[in-house]
Amino acid sequence: MGKRQFILGILLASLLGGVIALGGYQIFAEKEEPPFESFEEKQKVVFSRFEEGNAPKVVVPEGLNFVNAAKIVTPGVVHIKSTYDESEGYASKNPIYDYFGFGNPNGRKSRATGSGVIISDDGYIVTNNHVIENASEVKVTLNSNEKYEAEVIGTDPTTDLALIKIKDQNLPFVKFGNSDELEIGEWVLAVGNPFDLTSTVTAGIVSAKGRNINILRDSNGRQIESFIQTDAVVNPGNSGGALVDLNGQLVGINTAIASPTGSYTGYSFAVPVSLVKKVMNDLKEFGAVQRAVLGVGIAELDDPSIEEEVDELKGVYIRSVGPGSGAEDAGLKVGDIILKINGESVATVPELQENVAQNRPGTKIDVTYKRDGKVNTVTATLKNVENSFAIVKKEQPLKIDGAVFANASERDKLRLGINVGVQVKMLDDGKWEKAGIKKGFIITKVDKESIDNLAEFKTILKEKEGNITVLGIYPDGTKDYYTVKW
């Protein structure tokens, strides 16, 4: 090898070593961070790399995907604000009305808020009775933030349901589902407006069905409680909102919570849609619920008041049979144990009440019962509470000499501890105003005769001559009496 070749070899080796050294440095040295533009741009770069195939694919199990149901339902759930005049008073000691917690205990002008569910594209909305009962003004705000004044079509204190309407067309509505097919453990969503937080969605499971928690009762002691119990979070303001399945179909109307604090502590309760549909149809068609009854007094099989020995584990005990009732006509007797209605098992009192309440007077049902160890089935024709098949119409306010009277609300009766009364709703020049009566006064007696309702009030006044004395109570609990020149 010549001297020239030797020197050239050394130079090439040095150059190659430098290249390798520089390459190694670039491999192991920290890369200089590019100039910062914005977090948004930085995230876009990162996500674009993920989209090239590096991102893990997230798959939500079908039974846990709440997104579609929430999208379907949310537009059909509304926010309701009810205003109560000073004379009406909102304060209450009854838990079903305290559920909202927005009343004014001093009887001044007050407001309550809640939720509602649009059930038809022409503006009919289902909510709870305690959301709007006795309100002087009901306003509805849609999920789109459009606002309306609502008309109260009808109320049903026995189930704590009410139907209101706004004037509009082509509205989003929530489709009815089937609460009878709900299973314990099934996922459900509660959609409403807790604490004035609009369009809130929570999830839970069906914890139980056919629950009776003794919060509903009208002045005659009637109630229909067969709640769906869930652990979906429900708080003040959710009441009247939607309980839906994962198909986005309505299965219940959220009504109450079991709580010593007034806020959610684990369980919530909804009126099943099977009952909601019947009540809404009645209120729409008649303005009043056509309540069907079998005409029996009933008790759970483990009720301590049942003296005789019962060997059945499930069913409902008949403790009394009303004269002239559908039950008496069908031959049912005290001591019979009802096992099925129309072939469907009824294990508890709430289940029986719900099953019967889905019907109107005049409907025939098959009742399977056990007597003296033998199982029999009879057909009973349901009647109304008056033992007839007559249609019950919404009672219109009564106008007499400058005053407008209406039946006292079930809410006020419960709150004030009375079971009778008609209320002065409006007052103008006339005998009543001259006597000193104020708007909101609930008349419970006329000359010592108790006044149950408007019809009775009208009849008694027709028979009176000369001065009359009316006794009653104001919504704030103040009792008074007045002499009216008749």
Residues annotated as catalytic (active site), given as ranges: 130, 160, 239
DSSP annotation of 355 reads H
Local structure of 183: helix, strand or coil: coil
Q: Do 289 and 222 meet the contact criterion of CB atoms below 8 Å apart?
A: no
Q: For residues 102 and 408, what is the distance between their CA atoms, to the nearest angstrom?
A: 22
Query: Phi and psi at residue 43, in whole multiples of 5°?
Result: -65, -40
And the tokens for 317?
């005990």
Neighbours of 55 (CB within 10 A): 11
Residues 6 or more apart whose CB falls under 8 angstroms from that of 219 comprise 410, 413, 414, 418, 419, 420
CA distances from 119 to 126, 152, 250 (A): 7, 15, 9
Helices (H), 326-453: 326-330, 349-357, 410-416, 431-434
Residue type, 221: G
Residue type, 286: F
Q: Do 470 and 437 meet the contact criterion of CB atoms below 8 Å apart?
A: yes
Q: For residues 391 and 155, what is the distance between their CA atoms, to the nearest angstrom?
A: 16
Q: For residues 350 and 16, what is the distance between their CA atoms, to the nearest angstrom?
A: 91
Q: For residues 228 and 209, what is the distance between their CA atoms, to the nearest angstrom?
A: 5
Q: For residues 336 and 319, what is the distance between their CA atoms, to the nearest angstrom?
A: 8
And the tokens for 200?
């809130």
Q: Do 402 and 411 meet the contact criterion of CB atoms below 8 Å apart?
A: no
Q: For residues 122 and 148, what is the distance between their CA atoms, to the nearest angstrom?
A: 13
Report the run of H or E that residue 269 belongs to, with start and end: strand 268-272
* CA 294 to chain CA mean position, Å: 25
